[in-house]
Amino acid sequence: MKDHDTLEHRLTEQGISRRAFLKFCAAMASLMALPPGSATAVAAALAQAKRPSVIWLSFQECTGCTESLTRSHSPTLESLIFDMISLDYHHTLQAASGFAAEKSRDDAMKAYYGKYLLLVDGSIPTKDGGVYSTIAGRSNLDLLQEAAKGAAAIVAVGTCAAFGGIPMAKPNPTGAMAVSDLIKDKPIINISGCPPIPVVITGVLAHYLTFGELPALDELGRPKAFYGETIHDRCYRRPFYDQGKFAKTFDDEGARNGWCLYELGCKGPTTHNACATTKWNGGTGFPIEAGHGCIGCSEPNFWDAGSFYTPLPAPTAEVTTVAGIAAVAGAGAAVALSALDRAKKKHMQQTHEKLTVKDLHD
Amino acid sequence: MNPQELLYWVRGTGLQISAAIFVFGMIYRMLHLALLGRKKSLAAPRGSEWGPGLRTMWRRSLVMPELSANGRFTIITGYVFHFGFLITLFFLSQHIDLLRAVLGFGWPALPRSVIDIAAILSIAAMIALLVHRIIDPVKRLLSDFQDYLSWMVTFLPLLTGFMLLRGIGFGYITLLTLHLLSVELLLIVAPFTKLAHMFSLFSARWYNGAFAGFKGVKA
Amino acid sequence: MSKLQRGINSFIEQIDGPIATFFTSCVHCGLCADACLFYTETQDPKYTPIHKLLPLRRIWQQEYTFWGKLMFRLGLSKPVTDAELAAWEPLVYDSCTLCGRCSLACPVGNDIVYMVRKMREGMVASGHAPEGLKGATQRAIGLGSPMGVNLNTVMTHIRNTEKETGLSVPLDKEGADYMMVLSSAEIAEYSEVFSAVTRIFHQAGVSWTMASDGFEGTNSGIQIGSSDLAAELLWRIVRAAERLKVKYVISPECGHAYTALRWEGPNLIGRPYNFQVIHITELLDQLRSEGRLRTEGLDETRMTFHDPCQMVRRGGVVEQPRNLLHMVAPNFVEMPDSGIQNWCCGGGGGVSANERAEPLRLKVFSRKKAQLDAIGVDTIVTACSNCRSMLLDGLEHNNMSVNVVGLTELIAEHLAPAAK
């Protein structure tokens, strides 16, 4: 097996036409909001790109990210992007197991030290020495720290790896943390989502291969090309929001008319992701098209940000009780302080020196 | 703290703190005013206090004596601001969502076009009132720091709210956070400034009407 | 205790629930300025009614609000000083007639004049009252009348009246129904009122009397703002009325006498009266409605009525004078803003007793002049001798030839001959 074949060569081997490849490059370029005409540049770069070694570590996760990547678009060009890379270690996808599997990782880390890409899905438990998730007797934390050392860059795939995700949700029994909480000395790119959109993963990899560097990121380390706008910004139901037309229940007239799901708890306005444009399942649709509000899965702490069905303006904490207590306290303070003030007033009345005519001309 | 955490805090703990201060402060101040009390007049009444007191509570909003151009400007602009503010506050669907969550009940919202007009008019009226406060010699003389502070904390929620609805300037999360923070600032400041007039004006009017009613003055 | 401290203590004593509520509610909108003739006629913002209360407002903040107390203790809120009160004295006394028009204009419902009245308590206690008012009050307490009239003056008028009308003027008659009280201006300047009431009461068959120890209703104590001094003056009338066991005390044509007697009185002496107080206009209208007051002949001159503030806006007597005027004045016209919105003559609330305020009160008479110019009348009737004096001064100052007449005298002039 030739390790560093060019992509073009491999694609030809697999019977992928040049035309189909260019189409893919154009799609990537547009997704990443590159200037028009850069599709050819992408194609040229990709065609000549050497396959980098990729190590994929899975920690506290549900394999949903991998499922998303491998099953959703298959067999399209996106799945073939894995032919652009040398996936040297991936629990779920690799054929090897046991010592052989671990050895392939060790080998890759040694052979491509400083050059390999590290992909991580799942969060890392840190409590009690990280005992809550181990692979081959080693803690996730240990594995991550070891693999991170020689990585050129780290891609945190999915919300768990990017922001801690569901394992980190309250009360976070395992002390789960995001990759970026633990690794500070490597470039990290977060591809959040539960799961992330497959084409976003491939898009980021394509960018890395094309330009040899990570794409522009937002303040949460996510590629701006995919996370620059909110679901709300690009939602096809947006006109209904602007007109104030809202579905009140999931089966009312408004819901049937396809009105905005804001009042049913849609988190589209506060969620940065590309679902509304790239869509899912080969462009079939995205949750809002299926009649359910966005749950905000690509944002940090989405699991703890109140009910998925609570509208955004509603408080995320009990206000009524707190206000009730404050009212009682306020009444108490008023009774106490007004008693003091009345006593002062009374004192002034008692010590009042009667005004006489004499006082007028002193 | 990432933007989502900040928003979550603002929607939760921040709101709890500010709502608690608002409720505490308002109950404290209004009850304190009531408990200060007054001496019941020993004079023989010519009329009753309660009826005229209650009538004045709303009639004072309607009946105005002859006014100068400055006075008319204040009244008209003041009306536009108050109505715009109250319509936006109580009839924007997003606000009803919040109030429903807090109070347990809601009411129908007004169409967005109406809200937009109300909000724009209210913002314009506030700016006009600020300018007038600065240029009108009477208002300028009366104004102190509190007047400008009250203006600012009332204006910010209106402005950020409008920006949020229209998506102006910043992203939704930023604007929603700023809007909520500005509302919370308003809630915290209101009980301890002249903004407390939102409640005390009713008792002030009641006293005024009751004093007149006691004497049989048909004000 | 220093005078300043005495004044500040008095402010603290005066601040009650309504005042705290009013200060809490004020939004500094400035609308009260438009209601005050001292502002409308001068356009000087310092005459904005609520501004006249600034020192009292600070005392309220420093003594009755949480943050105010804190700021004051921390030295962040400056204490009220003698210099400040001295600076405010002309605002509180010279440019406020206690007319109460501002209290009707305030959109949040603040009874501003209620506060000015209370503020004067502290002003006078701290020694910051105008010399003119101090003198008037001293004369009232010492001599029995701010204008220096005494029982001898009254006796002279009574004798003249008896001679003129052939009727007796009852004095110190125990058990009479009504006790007539007069204002010092009536006794000093408008003594025709003696014969007017004597003839009217004779015709109507009213059982009445005057009291040798309580004939004067003008209360300088109310005007200077001292409840202590006001009570001292009021006690004279109360004691006389109770000694003579009358059912009613008739308040004269004098605005502040009516306020003092009718509304403040029982609170000043600390208990309800054993009699009722009725304004002369109220009584005359009552006699009219009972058919006991009959007039003959009409006065064809174009006539209007000046509503005294304390009688209408602060007293609730609005319809009665009109009912009476309609008996004799077919060409009666209302002034613009008549009734409870009427503009003050400019001399009420002690302003006319305050020499220092004379130029100002003559200046602001321009409002009354404009009202009169708008309707072009020959005669202006009023039911307050203080208004009457101020109207005469103002008209003369403006070279206007309009007659000023007291309502009671106007009625008396057209009195039908007594029934047999």
Q: What is the pLDDT of residues C284-337, one digit of tens each?
A: 999 999 999 999 989 999 999 999 999 999 999 999 999 999 999 999 999 999
Q: Is the same domain home to C284 and C366?
A: no
Averaged pLDDT of chain C: 94
Q: For residue A171, is the peptide bond before it cis, meaning its omega torsion is within 30 degrees of 0? A: yes
**Does a structural domain hold residue C403?**
yes
User: How far lies C250's CA from each of B136, C216, C288, C305, in Å?
Assistant: 47, 11, 16, 21
CATH code of C229's domain: 3.40.50
Is A355 in Cβ contact with C13 (below 8 Å)?
no
Q: Is the same domain home to C173 and C307?
A: no
**Does a structural domain hold residue C83?**
yes
Structural domain boundaries of chain A? Answer: 51-226, 231-304, 320-351
pLDDT (tens digit per residue) in A294-315: 999 999 999 988 889 999 999 9
pLDDT above 70: residue A77? no
* The CA-based dihedral angle spanning residues A148, A153, A159, A162, taken in that order and rounded to the nearest 10 degrees: 70
Residue-level pLDDT at A2: 45
What single-letter amino acid sits at B211?
F
Nearest CA-CA distance, residue A241 and chain B, Å: 9
Q: Is the same domain home to C149 and C265?
A: yes
pLDDT above 80: residue A39? no
Three-state secondary structure call for residue A74: coil
Q: Is the same domain home to C123 and C251?
A: no
Q: Is the same domain home to C67 and C176?
A: no
**pLDDT band at residue B17, thresholds of 50, 70 and 90?**
very high
Q: Which residues of B touch C25 (CB under 8 A)?
A: 194, 196-197, 200-201, 203-204
- Domain membership of residue C402 as a residue range: 303-413
Residue-level pLDDT at C156: 94
Q: Is the same domain home to C396 and C342?
A: yes
- Mean pLDDT to the nearest integer, B19-45: 95
Lowest mean pLDDT among A29-38, A161-170, A277-286, C268-277: A29-38
Q: Is the same domain home to C96 and C118?
A: yes
What single-letter amino acid sits at C248?
Y
Cross-strand bridge partners of residue C277: C249
> Could you tell me if residue C353 is left (phi over 0), alpha (psi between -120 and 50 degrees) or otherwise beta?
alpha
Write out the CATH class of domain A51-226: alpha beta
Averaged pLDDT of chain B: 94
Is the confidence metric ipTM above 0.85 for this complex? yes
pLDDT (tens digit per residue) in A205-240: 888 877 878 889 999 999 999 999 999 999 999 999
**pLDDT band at residue A75, thresholds of 50, 70 and 90?**
very low
Q: Which residues of A touch B27 (CB under 8 A)?
A: 326-327, 330-331, 334
pLDDT (tens digit per residue) in C160-173: 999 999 999 999 99
Q: Which of C129, C153, C173 is the last residue of a domain?
A: C129
pLDDT above 70: residue C56? yes
Pairwise pLDDT comparison (A48 vs B99), residue with the higher score? B99
pLDDT above 90: residue C113? yes
Is C6 in Cβ contact with A345 (below 8 Å)?
no
Q: Which residues of A touch B106 (CB under 8 A)?
A: none
HSE value, Cβ hemisphere, 13 Å, CA-based, for C347 = 24
pLDDT above 90: residue A73? no
Is B29 in Cβ contact with A269 (below 8 Å)?
no
Are A135 and A129 in contact, with CB atoms under 8 Å apart? no
- Mean pLDDT to the nearest integer, A140-158: 95
Is A334 in Cβ contact with B32 (below 8 Å)?
yes
* A19-57 as b/e: b if 16+ CB within 10 A: eebeebbbbbbebbebeeebbeebbebbbebebbbbbbb
pTM of structure:
0.91
Percent of chain B with pLDDT over 90: 86
Q: Which of C76, C94, C129 is the last residue of a domain?
A: C129
Q: Which residues of C touch A349 (CB under 8 A)?
A: 13
DSSP string, A128-149: GGGTTSEETTEEHHHHHHHHHH
pLDDT above 60: residue C419? no
Q: Where are the beta strands (DSSP E) in chain A?
A: 53-58, 86-90, 116-121, 124-125, 134-135, 138-139, 151-157, 176-177, 188-191
Total structural domains in chain C? 3
Nearest by CB to residue A270, choosing from B7, B27, B111, is: B7
Averaged pLDDT of chain A: 87
Nearest CA-CA distance, residue B87 and chain A, Å: 15
Q: Which of C289, C315, C338 is the last residue of a domain?
A: C289
Nearest by CB to residue A315, choosing from B12, B32, B115, is: B12
Size of interface A-B (CB pairs under 8 A): 142
Nearest CA-CA distance, residue C320 and chain B, Å: 13
- Mean pLDDT to the nearest integer, C247-274: 95
- Mean pLDDT to the nearest integer, A253-279: 94
pLDDT above 80: residue A133? yes
Q: Is the same domain home to C144 and C282?
A: yes
**Does a structural domain hold residue C295?**
no
pLDDT (tens digit per residue) in A81-100: 566 677 788 877 777 888 88
Nearest CA-CA distance, residue B169 and chain C, Å: 32
Q: Is the same domain home to C18 and C72?
A: yes
User: C362 at the B interface (CB within 8 A)?
Assistant: no
Of C336, C322, C341, residue with least CA distance to C371? C336
CATH code of C108's domain: 1.10.1060
Q: Which of C228, C233, C267 to mutate to test the interface with A (most CBs of A within 10 A)?
A: C228
Q: Which chain A residue's Cα is nearest to B8? A: A305
pLDDT (tens digit per residue) in B152-172: 999 999 999 999 998 899 999
Nearest CA-CA distance, residue C14 and chain A, Å: 8
Q: Is the same domain home to C144 and C270?
A: yes
Are A293 and A250 in contact, with CB atoms under 8 Å apart? no
Write out the CATH class of domain A231-304: few secondary structures
Q: Is the same domain home to C253 and C336?
A: no
Q: Is the same domain home to C100 and C161?
A: no
What single-letter amino acid sits at C403?
N
Is B75 in Cβ contact with C33 (below 8 Å)?
no
pLDDT above 80: residue A71? no
Are C137 and C220 in contact, with CB atoms under 8 Å apart? yes
pLDDT above 80: residue A28? no
Residue-level pLDDT at A74: 42
Pairwise pLDDT comparison (A31 vs A89), residue with the higher score? A89
